[in-house]
A = this chain, B = another copy of it.
Amino acid sequence: MTSKFNQDLDKNPANYQPMSPLGLLDRAADVHPDRIAVIHGERRYTWVAYAQRCRSLARALIGAGIERGDTVAILASNIPEMLEAQFGVPMAGAVINSINIRLDAPAIAFILQHSETRLLLVDQQFADVAREAVKLSGMQMNVVDIRASDVPDAEPVGVVDYESFLAKAPADAQLRYPEDEWDAIALNYTSGTTGSPKGVIYHHRAAYLNALGTTIYARLNIGKAVYLWTLPLFHCNGWCYAWAMAAVAGTNVCLRKVVPQDIYAAIVQHGVTHFAGAPAVLSALVMGKPKDWVKPETPIWLACAGASPPVTVIEQTEALGFEVLHVYGMTEQHGVNTTCVVQDSWADMEHEERLRHMGRQGVRTTVAGEMIVANSVTLKPVARDGKTIGEVLFRGNLGMKGYLKNPDATREAFEGGWMHSGDLAVVHEDGYIEIKDRSKDIIISGGENVSSIEVEEVLFTHPAVFQAAVVAVPDEKWGEVPCAVLELHPEHEGKLTQEDIIQFCRSKLPGFKTPKHVIFEPLVRTATGKLQKFKLRHHVAQIIANRNH
């Protein structure tokens, strides 16, 4: 028998609409038409103007033959057109594929092919690599060139420029809002720290929920948020911040080059209140502080994602007037899922202890659903002892739809009804998680697990160390042993030996965790600040093999 609470009570258009971030743009344009939505150099767009440009892009795409469920890719820096594409592409019913601008032509060609991209928007800054990638892909696709006066001139890749494309948009084309909130909104290729890139599919439901959740943890709803785009928009759609900024009708400040000079200039000129980035951004802020910098009265909010930055870097960043919140998430979970919520009780802690607490990955956000650290197979949660390592697993409404054309990888990721992050962590007594390693990066030495991150943290406490990475190398006796790759501060270069470092570590770590090899050379990171340790492992193994010869 149907319950009385279900009888004649079906959903109807008045009480059920597909959730989507697209409506947030319409509301922002209605409620704050004249507020500045986008700033780039001398360019300014109000929320009405921004919304109009997004709609024009959508209509132009429809006019160009784009259908529901087609892929439209963009290769661009954090410029206004990149922000427009975040709304304009899905408003045409298409799926936006924001491509990593640091990739080479063969990698881009792979993405264009795999995603079956029908149309590509190209920032003039990347015209050359885009031209080569399109050629390599062997595909027929429309290319729209985004012309810009702030970068060197380049030969167009396609036959139409962005502004002409928008100008020719058919005014009567009907915008295509999602028919179902489970419809795809975006495609993000993982940077591939392990193996070949996978296409992570975002859906309207999670994109909307994460936009709302972001306004909560980032406190974007306080007065007028001015968000500086230091975080690449091709990374989890800028962790969904383009959509979150529409939820609060704040101001987006574009940034083509993430260099301290431009960051500080934007902060001063536009009254930036929020920005986000990898730990490298914090170091850059500290190193690149202008002489005339005046610490702001209200701290500027800064989300820091990725590995924990050294305590001293957090300290120095705070001293400059930034409020650092450590956050953690992954492409497969629509970006940020945990934040290191600051507890009142930390105020009473000794300075360094407080900073150590702040550098953890923390607790789940309001919209993130459930998170456990557990045995990957039995799904049994680990003890809250700060020691036992398990895999971080998510369950809720922020999980991706799955991987594009990769049912095996999708099934594996969702094994047992939880999203397997591949990140290994411990849970502290207070319930805060701390990432110890990628599951593929753990070092097994003499049967013992060695967290590469733990060894790196020790290395960072050495005053000469600027960057550090620890990976496994094969060892006849122990199976694997830790090897440290170090970049020293310029003034210390050439002044330290392998033995100095090993001795330093031995004083702070048990023997099996102490690196057996040290290599001094620059570390290569991906566009999102990640180390590709599987590449580094391979590279290091060759160096050590040669040494042993």
Contacts and interface: CB of A to CB of B under 8 A. Distances in A.
Contact of A364 (B27, B182, B183, B344): B27
A183 to B, nearest CB: 7
Name the prevailing secondary structure of the A interface residues: loop
Interface in A1-44: 3-9, 11-17, 19, 23-24, 27, 30-35
A216 B219 contact: no
Given A8-B407, A14-B414, A201-B9, A27 B366 contact: yes
Contacts of A13: 395, 417-418
A394 interface: yes
Given A17-B395, A364-B27, A399-B15, A5 B417 contact: no
A335 interface: no
Interface residues of A, number: 73
A369 interface: yes
A212 B367 CA distance: 9
A511 interface: no
B366 A24 contact: yes
Nearest to A407: B8
Contacts of A364: 27, 30-31
A290 interface: no
Nearest to A406: B8
A219 B24 CA distance: 18
A178 B346 CA distance: 36
A95 interface: yes
Q: How many copies does the complex hold?
A: 2
Nearest to A205: B16
A396 interface: yes
A469 B129 CA distance: 72
Contacts of A17: 369, 395-397
A296 interface: no
Contact of A9 (B4, B398, B402): B402
Interface string A405-432: 1010010011001110000000000010
Interface in A63-77: 68-69
A112 interface: no
A375 B17 CA distance: 22
A239 B23 CA distance: 23
Contact of A5 (B16, B345, B404): B404
Contacts of A366: 24, 27, 212, 215, 247-248
Nearest to A203: B15
A37 B497 CA distance: 56
A159 to B, nearest CB: 27
A111 interface: no
A419 B201 contact: no
A15 B216 contact: no
A33 to B, nearest CB: 8
Contacts of A405: 4, 7
Given A27-B364, A69-B5, A397 B184 contact: no
A103 interface: no
A128 interface: no
A116 B4 contact: yes
Contact of A431 (B30, B68, B216): B30
Interface in A226-251: 247-248
A115 B284 CA distance: 63
A5 B401 contact: yes
Nearest to A402: B9
Contacts of A402: 8-9, 15
Interface string A66-102: 0011000000000000000000000000010000000
6 contacts: A5-B95, A14-B414, A17-B397, A30-B431, A215-B366, A248-B366
